[in-house]
Amino acid sequence: MIVTKILLVGCGKMGSAMLAGWLERGIRAADVVVIDPHAQGLPDGVTVLGDVDLLSKTFIPDITILAVKPQVMAEVLPAYARLAGQTVFLSIAAGKPVEFFRRHLGEAAAVIRAMPNTPAAVQRGITVCFAGPGVAQEPRALAQSLLEAVGEVAWIDDESQMDAVTAVSGSGPAYVFLLAEVMAAAGVAAGLPADLADRLARATVSGGGELLRQSLDSSAQLRINVTSPGGTTAAALAVLMDEAKGMAPLMTDAVAAATKRGKELAG
């Protein structure tokens, strides 16, 4: 892990997950300052401030992580404009493009836009990043190092792809949780006790995900591997893969809706 000074603005679920990953990888607690009036129970040694005005003028962060909700970002940013040109800003706010941050922080601001997802809480996340104008290789490497503490990292060169990234991976864990939820409900409808149905759904979804992670086969091939011709799985897949009302058209519509909403949040 690159030794660095970090300013973390907002320490909710994602901010806390990243902070835990950094400390586990060797970042010193003394090198992290958190700005969050509601932060509680943070690790010993981490400086926690309720307002950026309380930040020491001698603390110049190498990177400033913007981890507040996109709905309040516009009112939060102006207080950090004084750091433009001295730090790189890394935003994890959905829907907010690089130009939005440069508008509020000044054209001198070096901004990296990132979209992580909630499996970061167990260091199994994936984050996609886009580097705005003026972001050099060193701060890119720093951002990658910090984000790798909670999972995989990928980069894109076309920022317009970020809304689709958000729709697939940022929102995606909710789709997986919904799958487990409806599988359990279907099990109950088929006659299983609720606790057993929930246990079966959880173990099957999480185990299937781990098999997918470790396997060299494609997801399509893994599906084929578990499907015997004329068997029970084939009967279920005939419903789930219906071209008109199966999972594929539903997921396409869902991702399109999430992508559209991401564009609406860009203001």
Check if the beta carbon of residue 186 is closer than 8 Å to that of residue 145.
Answer: no
- Residue (of 69, 52, 76) closest to 14 by Cα position: 69
Q: 69 among the known binding-site residues?
A: yes
Beta strands in the chain (DSSP E): 6-9, 32-35, 47-49, 63-66, 88-91, 110-115, 125-131, 151-155
Alpha-carbon gap, residue 50 to 67, rounded angstroms: 15
Biggest CA-to-CA distance, the chain: 70
Q: Which amino acid, 179?
A: L
Check if the beta carbon of residue 46 is closer than 8 Å to that of residue 29.
Answer: yes
State the CB neighbour count (10 A cutoff) for residue 113: 26
CA distances from 136 to 142, 172, 209 (A): 10, 30, 36
- Please give the backbone phi and psi of residue 65, each rounded to the nearest 5 degrees, phi first: -90, 120
First to last CA, the chain: 35
Q: Which two tokens stand for residue 167?
A: 């729709």
Kindly compute the dihedral angle of the four CA atoms of residues 54, 57, 59, 63, in this order, to the nearest 10 degrees: 90
Q: 173 among the known binding-site residues?
A: no
Rg value, the chain, Cα? 21
Check if the beta carbon of residue 154 is closer than 8 Å to that of residue 25.
Answer: no
Q: Which residues are annotated as a binding site for NADP(+)?
A: 67-70
Annotated binding site: 67-70
